[in-house]
Structure 1
Amino acid sequence: MLGTQISKINLNNEEERLEVHKFLEEFGLILDHDVDYTIVVRVEGKIKATCSKAKNIFKCFAISDDLRGENITSTLITTLIDKLFEEGIYHSFIFTKPDKVKIFTSLNFKVIYETEDAVFLEYGLYDINKVLDKMAKEHNIDLTTPKGALVMNCNPFTLGHRYLIEEASKNCEEVLVFIVEEDKSLFPFKERYNLVKEGTRDLENVKVVPGSEYIISSATFPTYFIRQEDVRLKAYAEIDAGIFGKYFGSKFNIKKRFVGEEPYCNVTNSYNETLKRVLPIHQMELEIIKRKEFDGSFISASKVRNFIKEEKLEEAKHMIPEVTWNFLNSKVGKEIMEKIKKSNSPH
């Protein structure tokens, strides 16, 4: 179309950011706070289409009706894929509404999982099946033995986490513990993974494995096209549970997933209810274990972080295994604790 140009938005410029935000609002969408790169198509100076990315996730996608049929979708997506290639990233994802799936499958995106409110697709050099095959090989996972599994963040690793893993190991011949790989937490993935691995070394039937980018967190799930929090959480939980059941469950022969009972947090409670409903569709059972208590209350990583924030590390000592205590008193651990003291983040 004559006069059409693609340009990059300076996300640090409040005026430019607001212009994109207002354009998206016309479609009932918002500009997600975590986007790191945004492009727009302008016609005679006015925004007529936009797409953004947050790391390797495409989001905040909208095109004016008067540009339909102009191949703008392909142009936007190709531009973002080129940007990812510049950054050395050759694999990407998009969450979208079910009625938009055909647009992206026509651009060679593959559907990973679809729910009533959202669809999760991927594009690139590899796919979920190749990643899980590689995981099985790298971590020497026997695919024939029926297993139990847990998905954990461990921010940081507590005696509560250790207790859940122990209970699973008593119930199953083999147990896989998937550590959420995404770095949205105050304790980086590398440290969380190493703490759990070291802290469960004595449990011979337990294997600790990086979760991969297919175990998604609610922090990754986009807010831009589902405004209502309850609907968004439901869509996120259904996709996350569905991917785990359909792919991880069938690939690794996981018959049972274990979670801790959630007495306080409604969001986690709702997530557990979704697991209970979705996992059996994929021949997997959910077992909810009562959490470990100390001094009349449940042990949680958030309590440990609060003690750190309040500079009451000694009070956290009874909630964490020795491996975590030693780490917190190391140089790296002390640096992380300083960040926690300055942070307002709940993660």
Structure 2
Amino acid sequence: MDGLKMEIIDLCNLAERKNVEIFLSGFDLDYEKDIDYTLVLKDEKGIVATCSKAKNILKCFAISPNLQGEGITATLITNLIDKLFSEGIYHSFIFTKPENVDIFTSLGFKLLYTAKKVALLENGIYDIHSYLKKLIKKYDINTDKPRSALVMNCNPFTNGHRYLIEKASEVSDEVLVFIVEENKSLFPFEDRYNLVKEGTRDLKNVKVIPGGEYIISSATFPSYFLRKEDDKLNSYTSIDAGIFAMYFCKMLNINERFVGEEPYCKVTNAYNEALLEELKNFGIKLSIVPRKAIDGDVISASKVRQLIKANDIKNIKGLVPKETFDFLNSKKGKEIVEKIKVSESPH
């Protein structure tokens, strides 16, 4: 560390960002757009090490080869954790290459899952096991009883979503419906969650549960939100699907997962394919249900958003449950409708 100086990058300074991008490119790493904090170590010639974070996700670690093994990783991690603590964040994830797992486990991180090109680890005041134990208690889940599960975004909740839940409900003793909690959709999580909960209240064997940090989140599956089709997609889908199979299915006694057939979105289709492979490795069944259609046209949340954008609210009525239609005509719903009219989201 002698002769090295640590600096915080000014993210608004394009030249400083570019220098980090160039340094990372030498390690086959991208400087990702969601980064909100970056540290660099410099010598007299420039950057020799860097690390960044996006909320509670630590990423983009790189250290010059001649300085590796000098304890610099520990210094960078310590400074990032201090930054998280100053923001009131006490649980974090880190993406790294599989060959670097031992470095981070030696610093207190726990390995969650390893895919072909990337590993995900976590650190903090709780872990996935304690998280699931609290979930079991809060939602009164009898783990002696087998059940099925679905994971949905519901942006917004449609008759297609309701149809899929009904199909699972008809053949399962109990169904857990996890609603993606990441707030990167046009309809906020609280509203999506409440619409599904109210819209399935009559299905007595269905429990609607927040997805949390371990299901299709920026930590486990960032490509879901970015809708990117790059070489990272297979790794991200494998991590998210593997975590669900290894931890959720095992601890919650889930023996079957339902998904809707996906003829349009390549990212969701890739996710379903990875899910099939990962669940098979753990002896979990994946049931793919054909989408509900009207006159040959499948019902989708994107179709509903298109109609909203076209200000064609009346034709939405047949595509969504009463709870969703009533919400769209409420004060809060109308505010969201106005936002959709000027800015459409891919998810």
TM range (shorter): over 0.9
TM-score by length of 1: 0.95
Superposed, 1:1-347 pairs within 5 Å as 1-44=1-44, 46-217=46-217, 221=221, 229-347=229-347
Separation in structure 2 between the aligned mates of residue 4 and residue 118 of structure 1, nearest angstrom:
29
Contact kept? 1:150, 1:176, Cα under 8 Å: yes
Contact kept? 2:24, 2:31, Cα under 8 Å: yes
Separation in structure 1 between the aligned mates of residue 101 and residue 183 of structure 2, nearest angstrom:
28
Tell me the CA shift for residue 222 of structure 1. 5.8
Tell me the CA shift for residue 7 of structure 1. 1.2
Letter in 1 for 2:64: S
Tell me the CA shift for residue 218 of structure 1. 6.9
Separation in structure 1 between the aligned mates of residue 137 and residue 193 of structure 2, nearest angstrom:
18
Cα shift readout 1:160-215 (whole Å, capped 9, x = no counterpart): 00000000000101000001111121111111111100110000000000111011
Cα shift readout 1:305-334 (whole Å, capped 9, x = no counterpart): 111122222222211111011111112111
Flag the 1:297–1:219 CA change in 2: closer, same or farther, 3 A. Answer: farther
Flag the 1:218–1:71 CA change in 2: closer, same or farther, 3 A. Answer: closer
Separation in structure 2 between the aligned mates of residue 220 and residue 303 of structure 1, nearest angstrom:
27
Separation in structure 1 between the aligned mates of residue 286 and residue 190 of structure 2, nearest angstrom:
28
Q: Percent identity?
A: 61
**Long gaps (5+) in structure 1:** none
Tell me the CA shift for residue 156 of structure 1. 0.7
Separation in structure 2 between the aligned mates of residue 86 and residue 179 of structure 1, nearest angstrom:
30
Separation in structure 2 between the aligned mates of residue 26 and residue 339 of structure 1, nearest angstrom:
41
Contact kept? 1:147, 1:253, Cα under 8 Å: yes
Structure 1 consecutive aligned stretches of length 4 or more whose deviation exceeds 3 Å: 217-223, 228-231
Matched position secondary structure for 1:325 = helix
Separation in structure 2 between the aligned mates of residue 221 and residue 40 of structure 1, nearest angstrom:
26
Cα shift readout 1:93-143 (whole Å, capped 9, x = no counterpart): 011111111111111110011122211100011100000000111111111
Letter in 2 for 1:44: E
- Backbone CA RMSD of aligned residues: 1.6
Flag the 1:233–1:337 CA change in 2: closer, same or farther, 3 A. Answer: same
Cα shift readout 1:10-65 (whole Å, capped 9, x = no counterpart): 11221211111111111111100111111111112611111111110011111112
Separation in structure 2 between the aligned mates of residue 218 and residue 300 of structure 1, nearest angstrom:
23
**Mean CA deviation greater in 274-283 or 79-88:** 274-283
Letter in 2 for 1:242: G
Flag the 1:222–1:307 CA change in 2: closer, same or farther, 3 A. Answer: closer
Letter in 1 for 2:278: V
Matched position secondary structure for 1:335 = helix
Cα shift readout 1:231-271 (whole Å, capped 9, x = no counterpart): 31211111111111111001111010000011222322222
Tell me the CA shift for residue 219 of structure 1. 8.4
Contact kept? 2:221, 2:237, Cα under 8 Å: no
Letter in 2 for 1:119: A
Contact kept? 2:41, 2:50, Cα under 8 Å: yes
Tell me the CA shift for residue 2 of structure 1. 2.5
Letter in 2 for 1:87: E
